[in-house]
Chains A and B, each alone.
Chain A
Amino acid sequence: MALPQRRTDIGPPHFKDYLPPVIQKNYGDWAYHEILSGGVMVHVANSGDKIWTVRVASPRLLSTTTLREMSDIAEKYCGGYLRFTTRNNIELLVSDEKQLQPLLDELKAKKILIGGLGDSLHGYHITNIVHTQGWIHCHSACTDASGLVKAIMDDLSEYFNEKTTPGKVRLAVACCTNMCGAVHCSDIAIVAIHRKVPRIEHESIKNMCEVPSTIACCPTGAISPDPAKKSIKINNDKCMYCGNCYSVCPALPISDPENDGVAIVAGGKVGSLRAHPKFSKLVIPYIPNNPPRWPEVTTAVRKILEAYIAGAKKHERVGEWIERIGWEKFFGITGFPFTFQHIDDFTIARETFRTSAAFKW
């Protein structure tokens, strides 16, 4: 069968055609919203019109079968309208209040997890984990993102819709230091790391790689030319195993099942509320990959979360809590060992040294 006529540079469809009529009518004219339960909220427009949102969990990786099932549900209760959140949850948009309870009943009957919302009055819930492709699809992955997310969210699922946390807790997983997920600014996050220098496949470099750009891509200047071999050399002492060179030159494989694993970082955020946006900082420098459920990782994440819940003031984020009590106190409370790896020796190291005689025991 002949293909339809292709068109180029048309951009995406205009969003107006995809908005429920009540949103089209009240676009930019909303008065307030209220959280009704862990996964249900209502937005009220200045006109008095309302729209209810039911948020449900998603693994982000979705089959067409599930998308069709969600379409069925959206057609039955939402006039066919649904959306996805920036953290990959699915939101069903209900314009007719009479449809809300039947929708919730059907979702519960189908064991679809409702939750992930929170606010100052209701308390905060943990929502879906922003994450990357991992072993599903990525050449540079040193762990599987989807598996880690599944294991962590299973462990924390009670926080998705029942138990609350003092403030927002945003989790992220990145399957390498390229960090396609927002790991560097999350409350608690996992980033997968290598621990050994890349292997040089001299024969392949000649055919597959551009030597100058490979040398230039190294953040620490560890790569230099090896003219005799028409290849490159790596100064092992300078290499910090970031894997950037492997992304530029496939003949420098760095993956190593015995030494790859994950690190845990904490205390980042992106909002400007109260304290300025913060980077996540190192908590645990290495945990070996232990698929399929990474039990050491889920235990460590829970330990950080529970220490935060026990110690934080209402509305404080993980980073605000840790900065208030001090990192030295955080390591004391959690019992995580403090190692040479925790002391920065990269580009902003001196900014992180303690230049004060005031600290806690």
Chain B
Amino acid sequence: MPKKYDTPLLDELEKGAFPSFVTEIKKAAKLTEMANDELGVLEKCYRERKTHWKHGGIVGVRGYGGGVIGRYSDVPEEFPAVAHFHTVRINSISGYFYKSSDLRTICDIWDKYGSGLTNMHGSTGDLVLLGTTTDKLEPIFAEFSSRGWDLGGSGSALRTPSCCVGAARCEWSNIDTMGITYAITQEFQDEMHRPAFPYKFKFKTAGCACDCIASIARADCSIIGTWKGNIAVDQAQVKWYESKGMNVTTEVVDMCPTNCMTYDGKALKIDDANCSRCMNCIAKMGKALKATGEKGATILIGSKAPFVVGATLSWVIVPFIKMEPPYTEFFDLIRKMWEWWDEHGKNRERIGELIIRRGMREFLEYIGLDPVPQMVKEPRRDPFWFWTEEDLTK
């Protein structure tokens, strides 16, 4: 397509060392009229310092209640090619692995039906196709689904689960994050495609407490890999790190949050019974230290961004669970949580907010878990607790 708009402000963002999104839009604008008009409307946003996108209406594909985000321009006469500019969320592959042949197929479909612009990937982890019109949605869905791809989640539904690279390429991973993510996605297809929850629900799975997927901050259900055994120490490798310039005492021993390590210049020792498995020492000297013994995950619930009661981090619900196929215990637990949330949750209330509103006791009793100290940082400070009739007769 020939150039349609002068974009002096955006052109400034083609300068500099880091790759430019403006260059990307211009590349797409050579192929599609939509990307050309996207460039035009974006320059207008920069000039006027405000967005020119409107709320989405309900758009989608037959039989699904999500996966497409409706988006319309508030200046359609000026930029007719982006009057409708819907987003299609394609459920990404666990771990975001691709083969070039499949990327090419995705590109071919998208050039044919959309703007030629993508996000690799959106914040939730979907492969995001940015900008198409309502009449193209069914063709896009047919092209993708016939080739084995499906839509991701949107609205008050299960959102596309995501994970760190895990066992595929990380020696620290205690669980098969990609396998778990695939299994969750397959188990709950209906919950993803037909919104029936009070609000969104996100799963994110991290192989260890380094949490490269930010699960503890961004998932209603954070699955974080951990272990129950000792940390095996290879003393020769400790020496290797020392020979490479690492000060084992100040960089590893002194930084251990539980003070469970000692080093006398000869042997690094760990008091495993007092280790909280924070991953600091293993991440500092991975060749020398390895988690051993039983592997599994800690399940934490409740993290979300600030709306409505303020941002929350997920908190421990299940200190340890084996996360192995067919994941029956885990899926049963999740279904119970959803049942309680469905029963009591208000419109746009996340499960964590509901637990805060109604209390951990009701939640734990419903899902059938006993209280354990691992669930809290400290016991309550106030004297205002409840007793049930049953408590009194015990």
Any A CB within 8 A of the CB of B148: yes
B116 close to A153 (CB less than 8 A):
no
A135 close to B52 (CB less than 8 A):
yes
Question: Cβ of A61: which chain B residues have Cβ within 8 Å of it?
Answer: 21, 24-25, 117-119, 130
Interface residues of A in 61-99 (CB under 8 A from B): 61-68, 70-72, 74-75, 80-86, 88, 90
Any B CB within 8 A of the CB of A165: no
Any A CB within 8 A of the CB of B330: no
Distance from B251 Cβ to chain A, minimum over Cβ atoms (Å): 6
Any A CB within 8 A of the CB of B366: no
B98 close to A273 (CB less than 8 A):
no
Whether A177 contacts B307 in the complex (CB less than 8 A), given A292-B46, A315-B251, comes out as yes
- Counting chain B CB atoms within 10 Å of each CB, the highest count among A17, A270, A291 belongs to A270
Any A CB within 8 A of the CB of B273: no
A271 close to B279 (CB less than 8 A):
yes
A18 close to B98 (CB less than 8 A):
yes
Any A CB within 8 A of the CB of B344: no
B93 close to A67 (CB less than 8 A):
no
Any B CB within 8 A of the CB of A217: yes
Interface residues of A in 235-258 (CB under 8 A from B): 242, 244, 248, 250, 255-257
A185 close to B217 (CB less than 8 A):
yes
Any A CB within 8 A of the CB of B211: yes
Whether A31 contacts B101 in the complex (CB less than 8 A), given A13-B149, A61-B24, A139-B55, comes out as no
Q: What total of chain B residues lie within 8 Å of the partner, measured CB to CB? A: 135
**Total A-B residue contacts, Cβ distance less than 8 Å:** 373
Whether A9 contacts B38 in the complex (CB less than 8 A), given A139-B56, A157-B16, A270-B214, comes out as no
Question: Cβ of B217: which chain A residues have Cβ within 8 Å of it?
Answer: 182, 184-185, 268, 270, 277
Interface residues of A in 200-225 (CB under 8 A from B): 213, 216-217, 219
**For the complex of A and B, 9 pairs with smallest distance between CB atoms:** A154-B16, A4-B146, A71-B100, A179-B305, A28-B167, A135-B45, A64-B107, A157-B17, A272-B209
Any A CB within 8 A of the CB of B104: yes
Any B CB within 8 A of the CB of A300: no
Whether A67 contacts B103 in the complex (CB less than 8 A), given A11-B91, A61-B117, A150-B16, comes out as yes
A64 close to B49 (CB less than 8 A):
no
B310 close to A180 (CB less than 8 A):
no
A3 close to B150 (CB less than 8 A):
no
B284 close to A120 (CB less than 8 A):
yes
A18 close to B145 (CB less than 8 A):
no
B13 close to A293 (CB less than 8 A):
yes
Question: Cβ of B35: which chain A residues have Cβ within 8 Å of it?
Answer: 63
- Interface digits, B105-129 against A, CB 8 Å rule (1 contact, 0 not)? 0110011000011111101110000
Distance from B100 Cβ to chain A, minimum over Cβ atoms (Å): 4
Interface residues of A in 256-278 (CB under 8 A from B): 256-257, 260, 268, 270-275, 277
Any A CB within 8 A of the CB of B257: yes
Any A CB within 8 A of the CB of B64: yes
Any A CB within 8 A of the CB of B319: no
B24 close to A57 (CB less than 8 A):
no
Any A CB within 8 A of the CB of B245: yes
Distance from A287 Cβ to chain B, minimum over Cβ atoms (Å): 13
Docked Cα-Cα span, A291 to B12, in Å, equals 10
Question: Cβ of B278: which chain A residues have Cβ within 8 Å of it?
Answer: 272-274
Q: What total of chain A residues lie within 8 Å of the partner, measured CB to CB? A: 119
Binds A, one of B186-194, B262-270, B334-342, B385-393: B186-194
Question: Cβ of A9: which chain B residues have Cβ within 8 Å of it?
Answer: 150, 189-190, 193
Whether A138 contacts B308 in the complex (CB less than 8 A), given A12-B185, A150-B20, A293-B12, comes out as no
Any B CB within 8 A of the CB of A169: no
Nearest B residue to A152, CB-CB? B18
Distance from B102 Cβ to chain A, minimum over Cβ atoms (Å): 7
Interface residues of B in 209-223 (CB under 8 A from A): 209-218
- Counting chain B CB atoms within 10 Å of each CB, the highest count among A11, A58, A151, A291 belongs to A11
B46 close to A291 (CB less than 8 A):
yes
B190 close to A12 (CB less than 8 A):
no
Docked Cα-Cα span, A216 to B111, in Å, equals 42
A120 close to B246 (CB less than 8 A):
yes
Give which listed residue, A58, A83, A180, A255, contacts B95 with CB less than 8 A.
A83
Binds B, one of A140-148, A226-234, A304-312, A327-335: A140-148
21 CB < 8 A contacts A-B: A10-B150, A12-B91, A12-B94, A14-B182, A17-B99, A27-B168, A63-B28, A63-B31, A63-B116, A64-B110, A67-B106, A70-B100, A121-B245, A137-B53, A146-B21, A147-B46, A179-B306, A180-B305, A244-B308, A270-B214, A273-B209
Whether A30 contacts B185 in the complex (CB less than 8 A), given A147-B46, A273-B278, comes out as no
- Interface digits, B171-206 against A, CB 8 Å rule (1 contact, 0 not)? 101001010001001100110010000000000000
Whether A71 contacts B193 in the complex (CB less than 8 A), given A63-B27, A271-B210, comes out as no
Distance from A73 Cβ to chain B, minimum over Cβ atoms (Å): 9
Apart from A13-B148, A141-B53: 5 A-B pairs, beta carbons within 8 A: A27-B168, A33-B286, A62-B119, A70-B100, A138-B53
Nearest A residue to B279, CB-CB? A273
Docked Cα-Cα span, A292 to B16, in Å, equals 13
Give which listed residue, A138, A160, A272, contacts B51 with CB less than 8 A.
A138
B17 close to A30 (CB less than 8 A):
no
Distance from A344 Cβ to chain B, minimum over Cβ atoms (Å): 9
Any A CB within 8 A of the CB of B287: yes
Interface residues of B in 138-183 (CB under 8 A from A): 138-139, 141-143, 145-150, 162, 164-165, 167-171, 173, 176, 178, 182
Question: Cβ of B107: which chain A residues have Cβ within 8 Å of it?
Answer: 64, 67-68
Any B CB within 8 A of the CB of A340: no
Any B CB within 8 A of the CB of A164: no
Nearest A residue to B85, CB-CB? A137
B64 close to A7 (CB less than 8 A):
no
Distance from A79 Cβ to chain B, minimum over Cβ atoms (Å): 9
Any B CB within 8 A of the CB of A314: yes
Give which listed residue, B91, B210, B214, contacts A185 with CB less than 8 A.
B214
